[in-house]
Amino acid sequence: MFTIAFSTMVFYSFEWMNPPEKNQDHSSLVSQQLSVLGENLPWYLDSTFTPQEIERGQSLVYKGYYTLGTKKSKKQSKHFTCKSCHNTQREDPVLYRPSAESRLEYAVEHNLPFLQGTTLWGAVNREHWYNDDYYKKYGSLVKNAQDNLESAIQLCATECAQGRALTQEEMRYMLAYLSSLQVKMSDLDLTEKETHKISNASSPQEKKQALSLLKSKYLLASGATFTDVLSKDKRNQKANPQTGKQIYTQSCLHCHNPKNGVTNYTLDISKIDIKHLKKNVLENNPYSIYTITRVGTSPIPGYKPYMPHYR
Ligand code: HEC
Ligand code: HEC
């Protein structure tokens, strides 16, 4: 809060009477409202980043490198970019009650990929990362990552993306970009009464209540529940082919399409590919959609592209 107010003052002191529009936008960020209510913000929500820093962070997420003048940085991962597994837009219609079903519907409606990683939109607004069952996959590695976004990013860069850790500057650019993807007050579906309660809280008691009301309206942690591979006798019951097609196109083809996918195992919507998957549906091998979606694959020495399982 202090940093934002201070840098605003230095930058715009000659414009006191008429603060620029960008600043007015800023006050509608959820983080800004939290700060007004007395919350201590992590440093990246309490900093002003330059457009160049944000742009370099975006480039890291989209392309895996950034450019300084004509110089390109070393690629973060040879196998993936963050966009292989994460969206950068909102992906849940109701922020405080995410579900795979509503996310898929939303993905179809907005033509977004449906992916294993949680969207990076609003990642800075969360307070915990790699929650619940990720402990089963990464063990003690998630310990540091759960309460610290920078550690979560490094874990993902090295383990999920099978690449190198970000340098200190790159981490700043990354957080600059992620901070530009913050949840805004207008993204929360607040009633008039709730808005009033939050923006008019003044006593410590009122502020405390407003804080917990506000924090109940978006996700503080993206949950993960790993389930076992469905037993053979339960498969193919009440399956909805329309949903299957949506998952195939919005999710599987995002990585398996031959043009800009991330694997040599390519798939498209052709009958041959689908036949091959169909043939294995009742098997317990990696080509069974029941197995692959629950177990994924693991990177092997000398061949690092792998498939993360779904949560
Ligand atoms: C191969 C897939 C893959 C790639 C590439 C990848 N991630 Fe992830 N990431 C995941 C999965 C799976 C999780 C598990 C937790 C979740 O998102 O729910 C995750 C988790 C995260 C989390 C914690 C999310 C949360 O709320 O728990 C952050 C932050 C993150 N990744 C950032 C990045 C960044 C930044 C990059 C690029 C440098 C990246 N990831 C690349 C798959 C990937
Ligand atoms: C985030 C990217 C990503 C998504 C999304 C994804 N896959 Fe994969 N998948 C991979 C990678 C990488 C491999 C490793 C293949 C390789 O050896 O190159 C793989 C491997 C596979 C394999 C082969 C397993 C083996 O042992 O060779 C199958 C089958 C498969 N995926 C099916 C699917 C299906 C079905 C979906 C959708 C439900 C899906 N994938 C979604 C990245 C992805």
Q: Averaged over 237-261, what is the pLDDT?
A: 91
Angle at 244 between CA 243 and CA 247, to 5 degrees: 85
Pairwise CA distance, residues 84 & 117, whole Å: 9
| Structure-token match 């694959």, residue found | 297
pLDDT of residue 271 exceeding 50, the answer is yes
307 in Cβ contact with 263 (< 8 Å)? yes
pLDDT of residue 26 exceeding 70, the answer is no
Residue 17, pLDDT score: 38
Q: Averaged over 205-222, what is the pLDDT?
A: 96
Is pLDDT larger for residue 110 or for residue 3? 110
Pairwise CA distance, residues 280 & 108, whole Å: 26
Would the CB of 86 count as within 6 Å of ligand 1?
A: yes
Q: Averaged over 67-95, what is the pLDDT?
A: 95
Q: Residue 139: which pLDDT band, with cuts at 50, 70 and 90? A: confident
pLDDT of residue 237 exceeding 50, the answer is yes
Index of the ligand 1 atom closest to the CA of residue 306: 1
When the pLDDT of each residue in the chain is averaged and rounded to a whole number, the result is 88
Highest mean pLDDT among 10-24, 241-255, 261-275: 241-255
Residue 57, pLDDT score: 98
Pairwise CA distance, residues 123 & 291, whole Å: 29
Residue nearest to atom 6 of ligand 2 (CA): 252
Pairwise CA distance, residues 161 & 86, whole Å: 11
- Here the tokens at position 180 are 């530009």
**Percent of the chain surpassing pLDDT 90:** 67
Index of the ligand 2 atom closest to the CA of residue 308: 1
Q: Averaged over 239-261, what is the pLDDT?
A: 92
Cβ-proximal residues to 144 (8 Å cutoff; 6+ apart), any chain: 151, 155
Indicate the burial class of 130 (C-beta count within 10 angstroms; 0-12, 13-18, 19 or more).
Answer: buried
Residue 4, pLDDT score: 42
Q: Residue 300: which pLDDT band, with cuts at 50, 70 and 90? A: confident
Q: Residue 27: which pLDDT band, with cuts at 50, 70 and 90? A: low
Distances (CA, A) of 112 to 46, 117, 143, 202, 253: 30, 13, 31, 41, 12
First to last CA, the chain: 35
Q: Averaged over 83-102, what is the pLDDT?
A: 95
Closest to 164 measured CA to CA, from 310, 87, 65: 65
Closest to 221 measured CA to CA, from 75, 116, 123: 123
Tens digits of residue pLDDT in 173-191: 999 999 999 999 999 989 9
Residue 144, pLDDT score: 85
Q: Averaged over 114-129, what is the pLDDT?
A: 96
Which ligand is the nearest neighbour of the Cα of 104?
2
Pocket probe mutation, ligand 1, options 124, 160, 226, max atoms within 8 Å of Cβ: 160
Would the CB of 297 count as within 6 Å of ligand 2?
A: yes
Number of alpha carbons in the 13 Å side-chain half-sphere of residue 232: 7
pLDDT of residue 66 exceeding 60, the answer is yes
**Percent of the chain surpassing pLDDT 70:** 91
CA–centroid distance, 88 to ligand 1, in Å, is 11
Would the CB of 11 count as within 6 Å of ligand 2?
A: no
CA–centroid distance, 34 to ligand 2, in Å, is 41
Would the CB of 76 count as within 6 Å of ligand 1?
A: yes
pLDDT of residue 23 exceeding 80, the answer is no
pLDDT of residue 30 exceeding 70, the answer is yes
